Structure formats: C-alpha cells, structure tokens
C-alpha cells in the first residue's frame, strides 16, 4: 500500500479566472519514492480543515486581521506567510495517526487533474492587490462577525431572587437563554407564576445595556418536556405552537426561541414519545423559521449525539435541521452523576481511550454532530457551573481515571486536541482507597446518565437550596448535597474550595484536589468525610473553551449563570474564547 510520507507547499502560481487568484503548489511524496505536484487554493485548505474537523491551525484569514490599507496587502508578504503556514498544517496532519489515513485527506493530496475543488470565487483566494478596498471592507465586516465565538448562559427563572435580572453585567454575555417556559396540553406555552415579569425586566435590561446582549426564550427543560411529543405530532398542533412562539417573541421583544426537548424519541423524565418525534421536530423548525424570518435565533439544547430517528438510532444526516437553526447547544454534562464510584461530570474527551461511555464527551460530541452534517460553526459547547457530591471514599475517579501504561497523554493533548501542556494542580494521591460503605441499593457502580445533559433536573431543589443560604461558618461539610448536584459557588461557600489571589481555586478544610487526566477535569476528595466532588474549575473550563475555539465551534454556553462564583468562571471561559 502506497503511503504519503511528506507534503509541503514548494511554490505558487496565479490564475486569472474567475478573477486573479493564487494557487499553492503542493509537493507530495509517497513511500514508493514518487513525487507529484498538486495545486490548491487557500479556500481548498479551509474546506479540508472544516471537513476533517482537525485541531490544526491554518494561516489566518488576513481580511480578519488587517484593516484594509494597500501597504498591508503586499502580495509577497501574504503569500510567504500562507505557504509556510499551509506547509506546517499539512505536516501536522501527516504526523497524526488519525488524519494521515483519512480518506478525505488522501484524496486532497491525490493528483486529479483539477487545480481546485470549487470554482466559486472566494475573496481570500484573491491576489491582495486585485481586491478592491470596498470588497475587502465588506468581506472584513462579514467575516469578523462570523469569526468571534459567542458566550451564552442560561438564566433560570428561579434565580431571580438571588440575581435580579437588572443587576447582571451584560457585557459578559452575548446571549442569555431564559429558562423556562413549557409546552402544554393545548400546544401553547405556559409560564411559571411571576416569570413573565422577570423575563420583561431581563429583556429591557439586556437591550438597554448597550452591549448588544440578546435574550432567547428556552422552552422545555428536564421537567418541562412532557407535552412536546403531542405538540409536534400533527401539522395543526405544530402550527398552534409556532404561533405561540411567535407571539412570545413579539410580546416580550425576544431575540429568538430555544427548544429544550429532553428528548425526541426518548422518554427523558418519563415523557410520552414517538418514533416520529425527530421528523416532526424538523417540520416544526422549518415552520418556525418561516414565521420568525432569518434574523431571529432558533436553537435547541441537545445531547452529545444527534436526535434519535425512527429506527431508535442517532440520525446520520441532520443537515436539514442545521439549515433552519442558528445553533445547537450541546449539553456536555451529567455524563456521570453522584455514586459511590464517581466519574467525571463533563469530560473533555476520552483522552485515555478507556471510558465506559466513549460517545459522551465534548470531543465525541463535536465529531458526532459534524459527521452528521451539522457545521461546527453552529455548535455551541455546553459547560457546567456545577458538580456532583458523592458519598464515597474513593480517591480517584472510576472507569476513566487512569491512562494505560505507556500512553503519552500530554503529547496527545498538544498534538491532537491542540491544548497546552499543563502540570497537575497537585500530585495524584497514592494512598490506599478505603473500603466503601454503601447504602440502600448502591452497588458501587457509577451513576451513568445517558442520554446525558439535562436542564432543570431539580428545580424545586434549587429553590430550596437558595432559600437555605450559606452557613455562617463554612466548614467543608457538603453532606446535605450527597447524591445531588452542587453549584460551584456552594462548593466555595461551604469551604471545600477557596479562591486564591490569582483567581484560581485550591482545596480547603481537609479536602485534597485530584486531576483526572483522562477526562481533563478536577475532583475533590476527603476520605474522613466520605465525600467526593466531581466538578469543573477555571482550568478545565478554560480547556473546554479553548477546544471549542480551536475547532471552529460557535462558542460556549453555561448552565447556569447563577451558579458562578461572581463572574470568575465566566471570565475564564470568555478569555479562552478570545473575548
């Protein structure tokens, strides 16, 4: 079998049609000693990068980084920069065991007699000196808007007492998703008592803030998805529901609608469901887009796998959905819940190849959705601002926590995920694990929640915890949260974590901080308290946001903004997104 051993840009030429543009000549060497030259446009490399969804970096789109002045568009300077950057990109792909054998990559480097994969003109392919000032500025404006990742956050209506909407710093948020309204038996929308008043204040405050923050109404949630299947089941019901959505947008001056159906074709919290759910959801999206027009946001909260089709399996082609939607919000959390054998809440990836739930991570979600035809540029990665408290004496996370012998984890993270090397926050514990004391029917197996990710799982519980308040003396006792989710700010308030002067967090009150390299997440343990906390911190959230940005995703969102320690986690996520 002939193998490609090297590929680099050795020269360039120009072509005149459809207007003057640059062709980069790539020298390809194979294991049989042969050499070939192929010619590609810059936009061909962009298309390859988008298709492979690889973590490599292309030389920048100069229209994005340069205010148009003739001196900044010297042909030789730009071309030399791109030749070097494209060569480095190809070398990186060839060094990756995953991508060097990828069919699309091999076809890209195979001489075909065609200089380019597309005849459509792309301004980034142009000889800079032939691109007019007007054209460059128009494209610069368009691409700049598209290139900046968004940061969004869910605002639960039950948090209004804790964080009144008019007190929010709207400079932190591009989009706020107000949770929740719910579908009802009449295929219209219901609101909790008092929530419409909160929504009105949120919208007026956001729109008057001067920061351009948009407010989207989220409909559904873990406990609010009961009537979705019936609502979507007929054209008449869908029409009624579309009209209700449009009425809500107009009445409350909203910027869009978010559908948080948990889950089409599946029971979720014990909901009625049908094999036709996902097909009906597409029909709804098409009708809603027609009714709202192109400027409003249409999004949906989704799991790491595409919606389930009529055969009970994830859909393999969701491009028709993507055509109608602005974003799909991937709920990459609740992968492992509280258990006597805790696992990570929100894995970045199956970094050691030994997860018992390999399809449930940020890395897997990106691959699974893009493989089904949903563009990365419309996928928003969900990040949890909460963790789980387990009654356990474990000192490592289970079923995913240790690399196999000889696995070069840091090299993998750098080359495949594009993440920086970082030492552990603290040494991994070496002490012997204490024998578990299990209660009830807990057999020591991890609590695996799949399909993963849910919104509003314990709404009444969250209200109760808010009323409970923070104890006068934070002693590190988290026992009231055993078996439950815990907001990040409560981990701090109750004394298991303390904030440092550098803005990061360290363990306190007898807790030890561990780092699970295989999921890229932290955890706390205290064997004397029989307590383990699986959560995300500034480091792990920063890594996930970096992953989203480097892979061309639309950005990140958090569930939920009321669980942050002020804006500490939000600031880290925004910074990692380049905001």
Binned at pLDDT 50, 70 and 90, residue 448 comes out as low
For 294, how many CA atoms within 13 A lie in the half-sphere containing its CB?
1
Ordered by start, the domain boundaries in the chain are 4-145, 147-428+445-576
Other beta carbons within 10 Å of 471: 12
Sequence-ordered list of residues with C-beta below 8 angstroms from that of 349, at least 6 positions apart, any chain = 361, 362, 363, 364, 417, 519, 520
- Name which CATH class applies to 4-145: alpha beta
Nearest to 257 by CA among 159, 309, 324: 324
Give the whole-angstrom CA distance, residue 294 versus residue 290: 8
In the predicted structure, residue 423 carries a pLDDT above the cut 80: no
What is the distance between the terminal CA atoms of the chain, rounded to a whole angstrom? 47
Q: At what angle do helices 75-94 and 42-52 cross, to 10 degrees?
A: 30
Category of 336 on φ-ψ map: left (φ > 0), alpha (ψ -120 to 50) or beta: beta
In the predicted structure, residue 366 carries a pLDDT above the cut 80: yes
Q: Is the peptide bond before 451 cis (omega within 30 degrees of 0)?
A: yes
Q: What percent of the chain has pLDDT over 70?
A: 77
In the predicted structure, residue 242 carries a pLDDT above the cut 80: yes
- Say yes or no: do domains 4-145 and 147-428+445-576 share a fold: no
β-bridge partners, 260: 220
Decide the pairing of beta strands 256-260 and 214-220: parallel
Residue tagged 């030789």 (tokens): 76
Most confidently modeled range among 32-41, 56-65, 438-447: 32-41
In the predicted structure, residue 570 carries a pLDDT above the cut 90: yes
Query: How much is the mean pLDDT over the chain?
Result: 83
Decide the pairing of beta strands 327-330 and 484-487: unpaired
- Let me know: does 486 contact 531? Beta carbons within 8 Å: no
- pLDDT at residue 461, as a whole number: 44
Mean pLDDT of 237-258: 98
What fold is seen in the domain 147-428+445-576?
TIM Barrel (3.20.20)
Q: Please give the model's pTM, rounded to 2 decimal places.
A: 0.72
Better-predicted residue by pLDDT, 70 or 150: 150
> Is the Cα dihedral 155, 157, 162, 163 positive or negative?
positive
Mean pLDDT of 376-401: 89
Sequence-ordered list of residues with C-beta below 8 angstroms from that of 141, at least 6 positions apart, any chain = none
Nearest to 53 by CA among 448, 499, 490, 364: 364
Binned at pLDDT 50, 70 and 90, residue 84 comes out as confident
Q: What is the dihedral of CA 523, 527, 528, 533, to 10 degrees?
A: 20
Give tens-digit pLDDT for 283-322.
999 999 999 998 999 999 999 999 999 999 999 999 999 9
Binned at pLDDT 50, 70 and 90, residue 216 comes out as very high
């Amino acid at each position: 079998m002939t193998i490609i051993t090297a590929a680099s840009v050795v020269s360039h030429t120009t072509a005149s049609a459809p207007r003057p543009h640059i062709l980069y000549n790539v020298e390809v060497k194979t294991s049989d000693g042969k050499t070939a030259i192929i010619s590609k446009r810059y936009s061909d490399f962009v298309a390859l990068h988008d298709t492979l969804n690889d973590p490599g970096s292309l030389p920048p789109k100069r229209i994005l980084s340069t205010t148009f002045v003739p001196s900044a568009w010297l042909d030789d300077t730009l071309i030399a920069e791109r030749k070097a950057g494209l060569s480095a990109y190809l070398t990186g792909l060839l060094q990756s065991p995953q991508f060097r054998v990828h069919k699309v990559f091999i076809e890209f480097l195979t001489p075909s007699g065609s200089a380019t994969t597309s005849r459509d003109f792309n301004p980034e392919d142009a000889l800079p000196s032939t691109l007019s000032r007007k054209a460059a500025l128009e494209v610069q404006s368009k691409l700049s808007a598209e290139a900046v990742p968004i940061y969004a956050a869910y605002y639960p209506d039950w948090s209004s007492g804790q964080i009144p909407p008019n007190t929010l710093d709207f400079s932190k948020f591009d989009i706020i998703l107000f949770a929740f309204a719910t579908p009802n038996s009449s295929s219209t929308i219901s609101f909790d008592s008092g929530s419409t008043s909160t929504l009105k204040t949120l919208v007026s405050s956001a729109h008057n803030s001067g920061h351009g923050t948009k407010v989207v109404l989220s409909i559904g949630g873990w406990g609010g998805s009961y009537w979705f299947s019936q609502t979507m089941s007929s054209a008449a019901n869908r029409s009624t529901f579309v009209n209700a959505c449009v009425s809500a947008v107009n009445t409350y001056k909203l910027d869009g609608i978010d559908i948080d159906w948990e889950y089409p074709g599946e029971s979720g919290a014990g909901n009625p469901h049908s094999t036709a759910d996902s097909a009906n959801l597409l029909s709804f999206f098409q009708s809603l887009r027609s009714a709202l027009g192109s400027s409003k946001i249409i999004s949906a909260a989704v799991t790491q796998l595409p919606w389930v089709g009529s055969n009970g399996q994830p859909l393999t082609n969701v491009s028709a959905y993507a055509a109608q939607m602005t974003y799909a919000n991937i709920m990459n959390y609740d992968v492992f819940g509280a258990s006597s054998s805790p696992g990570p809440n929100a894995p970045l990836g199956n970094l050691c190849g030994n997860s018992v739930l390999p399809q449930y991570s940020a890395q897997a979600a990106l691959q699974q959705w893009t493989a089904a035809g949903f563009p990365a540029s419309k996928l928003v990665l969900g990040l949890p601002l909460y963790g789980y408290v387990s009654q356990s004496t474990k000192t490592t996370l289970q079923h995913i926590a240790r690399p196999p012998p000889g696995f070069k984890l840091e090299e993998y993270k750098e080359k495949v995920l594009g993440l920086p090397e970082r030492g552990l926050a603290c040494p991994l514990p070496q002490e012997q694990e204490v024998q578990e004391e299990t209660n009830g029917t807990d057999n020591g197996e991890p609590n695996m929640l799949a399909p993963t990710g849910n919104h509003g799982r314990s709404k009444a519980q969250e209200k109760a915890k808010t009323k409970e308040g923070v104890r006068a003396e934070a002693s590190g006792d988290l026992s009231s949260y055993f078996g439950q989710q815990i907001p990040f700010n409560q981990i701090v308030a109750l004394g298991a974590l303390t904030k440092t002067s550098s803005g990061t967090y360290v363990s306190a009150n007898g807790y030890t901080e561990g780092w699970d390299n295989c999921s890229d997440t932290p955890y706390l343990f205290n064997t004397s308290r029989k307590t383990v906390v699986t959560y995300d911190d500034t480091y792990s959230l920063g890594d996930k946001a970096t992953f989203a940005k480097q892979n061309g995703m639309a950005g990140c969102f958090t569930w939920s903004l009321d669980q942050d320690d002020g804006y500490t986690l939000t600031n880290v996520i925004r910074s990692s997104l380049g905001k």
